[in-house]
Structure 1
Amino acid sequence: MTPHHLHAVRTTWALHTALTRLGELAVLESRLRTDETLSAADGLRSPLYGQRHATGGHSDPVSATLTLHDATARVTRWADLSQRATDRLRWIADMIGATPAPDPWWRIHTRTPRLPAATAATITRHLADEDTWIRAAVRLAPAGQPLTGVPCPRCGVRQLQVHTDGPEASWTVTCTCICVGQGCACGMDGKVEGVQHIWPRHQVLGRIDA
């Protein structure tokens, strides 16, 4: 798998984590909206329904009806963002000719390893943009975490990041340093000039353990 494909797969799994959190918030939001709607409906069915005071108030049926409508229309932030993400991913999946399926993330994920390297690089940028805005919205830290005590196989000085989203077989390690092509001493498979260094996790840690 080329470095472009490794980056694309890494970003796909990072996005999956962000989408999962967004989906959880959308479900909680839906439950809250349902509970508020039911509470407002209970108010309409109360023994006080039908009483109307000169000053209005909680027993005013007009006020109760407005509360019911408001509870239904309010609190749709996460559902709207989730739909926006789904629409965007569906567009990306269609653009790369992914197999039709209900889940656009799954379509992209299964198609990515078979993409031309240049297309995989483009998809990485699109998915990274999606991952960034979703994580900012749901207040989720950026993907990856420092890999302490392990030097970069290429530069030996910068901070490596380990990416553990998804199954263990897909875990990778990255450095901010850039590959210079065939003459690079990075040990990265399929060296590509100008690409951020990325290695399968076992390749970096296996080299240290050896």
Structure 2
Amino acid sequence: MTSPHHLHAVAAAWSLADALPHLATLADDEAAQIAAEAREEPALLRSPVYGSRHASGGHSDPVTGMIATATRPERRNRWAEMSSRAEQRITGVAAMLRITGVRDPLACILAALPNTLPGTAAVVARHLQDEDRWIREAIGIAPDRAPLHGPIPPMCPACRARNLHVQTAGPQSAWTVVCDGSREPDGGPHRPCLCTGTGCRCGMPGAVEGVAHIWPRAVVLGAVGGAR
């Protein structure tokens, strides 16, 4: 089954699959740095009164005669914590689809999505989009997407704006096209491009009112080619 909800869910899953290796690399690099810090010779503990290990007058420094070291607690690996949290959340989404006991729950989610109902796909899309956005904002990588170019940029069939973008995460066969909406002619606020349901000019089968427009890339390129 394919609906706008399914397309959004699949796009989010591939986007998350592309973001997770970046997070894993950061976690590995941080673990190596923490391990290197642990191997460093600890600094000698200094007296808060005398500042160093000498005798002073007839009284010795409170720490004289001790070879004391500062005990530094190991730093938290926040990237590893984020990676663990993401794994738990993805596993939770898989559990909603009754997928358990697998090593790659995200791959299983992608395999299961075509057989889910639109309402279930909508829930999966929302959870995966939230996780993908959270990770990408934290590690500083933009969504995998590019404007749909041409001698004249193609027009959105729904809102007529020339603001279509290709979501390029995952294999090319899974790429989708979304519309970033438009602005009022007088330069007013941004208007999101949302489906109006049955009869919407988007032309998508199973159109759902209020859902952000999305199309398979092959459909859009075919429509553009036909129009030319």
Fold agreement, TM-score > 0.5: yes
- Residue of structure 1 equivalent to 2:139: 138
C-alpha distance in structure 2 between counterparts of 1:178 and 1:152, whole Å: 11
- Residue of structure 1 equivalent to 2:167: 163
**Equivalent residue runs for 1:14-25 within 5 Å:** 14-25=15-26
8 Å Cα contact 1:182/1:191 also seen in 2: yes
**Equivalent residue runs for 1:59-208 within 5 Å:** 62-63=68-69, 66-67=71-72, 70=73, 73-148=74-149, 149-175=153-179, 176-208=192-224
Q: CA deviation at 1:158?
A: 5.0
Runs of 4+ in 1 over 6 A off after TM superposition: none
C-alpha distance in structure 2 between counterparts of 1:104 and 1:27, whole Å: 21
Q: Deviations over 1:84-142 (max 9, x none)?
A: 11111111211221253022322322222221110100111111111111111101113
Unaligned runs of 5+ in 2: 44-51, 55-60, 180-191
8 Å Cα contact 1:99/1:107 also seen in 2: no
- Residue of structure 1 equivalent to 2:188: none
For residue 200 of structure 2, give the secondary structure of its aligned residue in structure 1: coil
For residue 178 of structure 2, give the secondary structure of its aligned residue in structure 1: strand
The number of residues matched between the two structures is 195
TM-score (normalised: structure 2): 0.76
For residue 69 of structure 2, give the secondary structure of its aligned residue in structure 1: helix
Q: Deviations over 1:3-26 (max 9, x none)?
A: 111110001111112212111111
C-alpha distance in structure 2 between counterparts of 1:80 and 1:209, whole Å: 47
Q: Deviations over 1:158-197 (max 9, x none)?
A: 5112100000110000124222223122222332233221
8 Å Cα contact 2:147/2:165 also seen in 1: yes
Q: CA deviation at 1:75?
A: 4.2
C-alpha distance in structure 1 between counterparts of 2:62 and 2:108, whole Å: 55
C-alpha distance in structure 2 between counterparts of 1:63 and 1:83, whole Å: 33
C-alpha distance in structure 2 between counterparts of 1:125 and 1:105, whole Å: 14
Q: CA deviation at 1:56?
A: 10
**CA RMSD, Structure 1 to Structure 2 (Å):** 2.5
Q: Report the structure, 1 or 2, having the larger helix content.
A: 1
Q: Deviations over 1:12-49 (max 9, x none)?
A: 111112212111111111121222223348x9xxxxxx
TM-score (normalised: structure 1): 0.82
